Structure 1
Amino acid sequence: MSLKDVVFHAAQRGVSGSYALRGKPFDPATPFHPPQGRYGTVHYGLMLPGLPAPLNFIDVIAVIGQPRITLWRNDHLIETTAADTANLLIGAGIEFPGQFRGYQVDRDLELAADSSIVRFGDEFQLEGTYPNFTVAYRNPAFDLYLQVRATDKVSHFAKVRGGLYDHWSLLCQYDGAVTYDGRTTELSGLNTLEYARGADVALPFSFFTYQIINIDDTTQVLMTEVLGPLGVPVQRAVYVRSLHDHGGTYEDNFAFDVHRVEPVARRTPNGLPMRLATEFTWSVDDEQGRELIEIQAVTNDDYVYGMAGGYVGSYRYTGRFRGAPIDGTGYIEYIGNR
């Protein structure tokens, strides 16, 4: 481990309490609620990576209450107040009308105090309590129904001291079906159920990426990089978990390198220019200094807007995991310029 890694890890541990939770089973008493009290913004997410083309991936990204973080905010959707504004994305490798839209919380949403019902109008519903959930989305061009069974394998991305921000992800299994273009496709596999809550604080993030790969039918790998002002790293980590163990978190010699971006910058609905990665690599070592994973990726040209203030999509990858060759389709969230 380099001296830079030692200093960076020490700083992270001083800010976040998530490190003390590593390797521990999910506590069902973990907060899971809509906006309340100091927490003006809540995020629910379900991500299904590695689907056959042309789907490539499906995700559900629901944000209730607009955060003050510029990268994650959708000012253009606000009709009344930021707290009264929600947005929903049903992302996939195919585009369809209405897959990203805004809602007014008081007018359009039904929110149980324990999030056992999260309903956006007549379009979307997340229902259930840990560990069993159902997801239903109805759109004339895209219909989705999932039964989700959460495990106790959890990755805590952030638990900022002082209660400013919490974010965690559960390893899950799902079964269901999607209907589009007049055909129905049965779905099953590994997915994530994610939750975040944030206080009304303007954190100065400048870049964010989050990626998911299902190595096989039991093993999932998550990667995240968050940068602050001037590209200073806030978080760089790879999480490994499986149906059989709680896995680990790896940060040593983390590298994420973008080799090619789209030739023309996109402009988000909020007016921010973003040049999205089309070719990139990432890797990290294990605790013994050996390469844990190395990924070479080329995107599938299916980025769609609506991951907070950025984009989601998929990529084809080859690489190695614990010395063995791997390939498949990964999931990516990308906000900002790298």
Structure 2
Amino acid sequence: MPLVDIAPWAGGDPAGRESVATAVDAALRTSGFLLVTGHGVPDDDRAAVRDLARRFFALPDDVKARYAVTVGGRGWLPPGVEANAAAEGVTSPPDLKETYAVGADTPTGDPDLDGFWFPPNVWPDEVPDLRAAVVRHVGAMRALADDLLRIGAVALGRDEDFFTRHTGNPSYTLNINHYPPLTEVGRPTHGQFRIGAHTDFGTFTVLDREPGAGRLQVDVPGHGWVDAPYRPDAFTINVGDLLSLWTGGRWRSTRHRVLPPQAAAPDEDLVSLVFFYELDPDTWVEPAGHAAPPVRAAEYLAGKLAQITVPSAAPQNVQHRSRRPGRPQAALPPLRRRPV
């Protein structure tokens, strides 16, 4: 997993921009992961989100339950509602985590899309400062993800806006994941992880994580499961399925997982900020070289969210996109046939 300083990209020097594009392309063709510095996101902003999120996660469960949602919702995902390994078609225990999720909330005017992909975010009254900190962080993450897409387009010999012309009003999610300590969750069941083995679903994932014994691992071709390196000033970047498909497999959407809490560190308590960047939902992704049929982003992503949901563990009276009681669950937007 190479380390790439992307600061020269913003500097405007053609040679510097080319060197960044070449380095990013090389990383994405091998492991599908890289560490990025020179991103310009202040450490204090990331720390503020993490500290405020810890205040929320420390609240009693009956208080957090006021904001309970299931996978794809906006608010608190309690332990037991998500199993990422199920996206690979395997039966898996639930992931050992809880999450506060926010996402894109700028409506398009299309009620079918807006009800599912762009509902209002929900903010906990008990931690009033969380909203401003998260909004600031999400803005920085979206800007960084768009920069990475521009870098990638240049690396592929495309127009710089080849990808970003499809991120005018994209779906995206920031998952603030809390991995409780072993002393709280108890001994994991067989095959249970903080996050089970999976690939991500969208374009780029931008991860700000804490180091620990229950660490991130990447399934690197030819090497198997490898501990991901960590630098406190770097973001961990990886490719999602849609972007890999778009490049005809040139860039790898690589399997990864987060180990369960370890007996050697029973009090380890970690918080990760995971930004999943996607596309305008109506985007048709055309694989390079026509290696596979085109897919519509909305259908692909919604199908994956359904796979990783643990229906039997959904909290009572939980809505898909809202904590307001009595509101119907948003339906999957209808399939829109690709224009011919």
Q: Structures share a fold, TM > 0.5?
A: no
Could you say which structure has the higher helix fraction?
2
TM-score where L is the length of structure 2: 0.25
Higher relative contact order (CA 8 A, sep 6+): 2
TM-score where L is the length of structure 1: 0.25
Could you say which structure has the higher strand fraction?
1
